[in-house]
Amino acid sequence: MKAPVISSWFGRGQVEAPPDITSAALRSDRFRLEREGDWKRLEAIIVRMEKGGLRRIADDDLIALPALYRTAASSLSVARETSLDAATLAYLEALVQRAWFQVYGPRQGFVRWLRGFLLGGWSRAVRELWLDIGIALFVMVAGAVAGWLLVAQDEAWYYRLFPAGAGDPRVPGASREQLLATLANEESAAGLAGFAAQLFSNNSAVCILAFALGFAFGIPSLLLLVHNLALLGALLWLFDTQGLVVELAAWLSVHGTTELFGILLSGAAGLHIGRSMAFPGQLPVLDAAAAAGRRAAVVMVGVVIMMVVAALLEAFPRQLVEATSGRFLIGGTMLTFWLAYFILYRPAGAAGDALALPEAG
């Protein structure tokens, strides 16, 4: 076969291509021609899947899809090893990437993922942590009681647990009027949006820390719950000395029923991971921790939503509603909603992995 010719940029006429270039070109063409049929078939299947999912795919093509994907991946490997032409290599890289996403990637978009998460996935994940939630709840109640008893025995404990800032009237010995003024509402909503963002940041930091510390067998997570609830117990004691514990409870309930619930779930999620590592059962420790981590991660995605809600409640209704009964109504409504969602809401057929990432685009 006569060697192909190429145009010369440095003179008239044409010159023959060197033998090594000719050999490489022929090898690349032969490689492509031998496998191009499978590549084109795979590409056609991928195009139909990208446009309409599995509904557009014939049974024969669906059965052949894994084999066609492996063939394309093998061709890509050969193309890289033998340094075939750049066009073939680029085509195979794009094709294998698209095929991998359809064969092994997620099947759902963001809207479908979010619908599955809210309509059963989140509540189911929370129920799977029932033992850890029970332990965390017991620890939180014990922490609040311990904080109350400590400051009731020695007021110095109040400053250890609740370091008041400069000018903060919430200190032992404060008058009833001073404490009541801290529970007063705001006259307008101006500036409360920034306040809500700050509250979300603070609340989320506590929840993430309670979750992240679970790797140490859950003990640090429980200690963090005890500390945070001891602060609450000390504050309840302080207001009780002036007969304002009911007013404080109403003030806290607006956002606290959501915020404390989120902290409870965060601590339970961290404890769930730590407990799975300490007691892995029949599974290896890493496998048990990975399975627990997937369940706990679903719960934590929902906790972020709860912290957003808590920040909005704390910044707006709590600051704008003054009546004790109105505050209790808001807090009680939110607590009822969360309990009903996590315990009673069990839609039929709510299955699937709520952690699967949504499909891009």
Q: Is the pLDDT of residue 7 over 60?
A: no
pLDDT digits (tens, 9 = 90+) for 150-169: 999 999 999 888 776 656 78
| d(C-alpha 189, C-alpha 261), whole Å | 26
Q: How confident is the model at residue 330 (pLDDT cuts 50, 70, 90)?
A: very high
**Residues of the chain with pLDDT > 70: what percent?**
79
Mean confidence (pLDDT) of the chain: 80
- Amino acid 105: pLDDT: 62
Q: So what's the pLDDT on residue 354?
A: 44
Name beta bridge partners: 16: 5
Q: What is the pLDDT of residues 106-125, one digit of tens each?
A: 555 667 778 888 888 899 99
How far apart CA 267 and CA 262 sit, in angstroms, is: 9
Band of pLDDT at residue 135, cut at 50, 70 and 90: very high
Contact 61, 9 (CB under 8 A): no
Contact (Cβ atoms closer than 8 angstroms) between residue 303 and residue 337: no
pLDDT of residue 234: 92
87-93-97 Cα angle (round to 5):
150
pLDDT tops 60 at residue 2: no
HSE toward the beta carbon, residue 178, CA cutoff 13 A: 11
Partners of residue 5 on adjacent β-strands: 16
Whole-angstrom distance, CA of residue 68 vs CA of residue 101: 14
Considering only CA atoms, which of 248, 244, 345 is closest in space to residue 302?
Answer: 345
pLDDT value of position 107: 55
Lowest mean pLDDT among 56-60, 146-150, 285-289: 56-60
Backbone angles phi, psi at 166, to 5 degrees: -60, 130
Q: Distance between CA atoms of 356 and 117, rounded to whole angstroms? A: 10
Q: How confident is the model at residue 210 (pLDDT cuts 50, 70, 90)?
A: confident
CB of 273 closer than 8 Å to CB of 221: no
The SS3 assignment for 258 reads helix
Which residues neighbour 47 within 8 Å (Cβ) at sequence distance 6 or greater? none
Structure-model confidence comparison of residues 219 and 21, the more confident one = 219
Q: Report helix, strand or coil for 166.
A: coil
Q: Note the pLDDT tens digit of each residue in 76-105.
A: 888 777 766 777 788 888 888 888 877 776
**How would you label 159-172 residue by residue, b for 16+ Cβ within 10 Å and e otherwise?**
eebbeeeeeeebee
CA distance 228 to 128: 25
3-state secondary structure of 15: strand
For the chain, the domains span 26-104, 111-344
How confident is the model at residue 79, as a pLDDT?
A: 78
Average pLDDT over residues 124-143: 95
Element (DSSP H or E) covering residue 22: helix 19-52
pLDDT confidence of residue 120: 86
Give yes or no for residue 356 having a pLDDT over 60.
no
Higher pLDDT, 356 or 332: 332
Residue 7, strand partner residues: 14
Please list, residue by residue across 37-47, b when 16 or more beta carbons sit within 10 angstroms of its beta carbon and e when fewer do.
Answer: ebbebbbebbe
> Which pLDDT band, with edges at 50, 70 and 90, does 359 fall under?
very low
**Residue 288 confidence class, pLDDT cut points 50, 70, 90:** confident
The radius of gyration of the chain's CA atoms, rounded to the nearest angstrom, is: 31
pLDDT bin (cut points 50, 70, 90) of residue 187 is low
Q: How far apart are CA 302 and CA 180, in angstroms?
A: 34
Residues 36-55: pLDDT tens digits? Answer: 888 888 888 888 877 766 66
Q: What is the mean pLDDT of residues 261-286?
A: 90
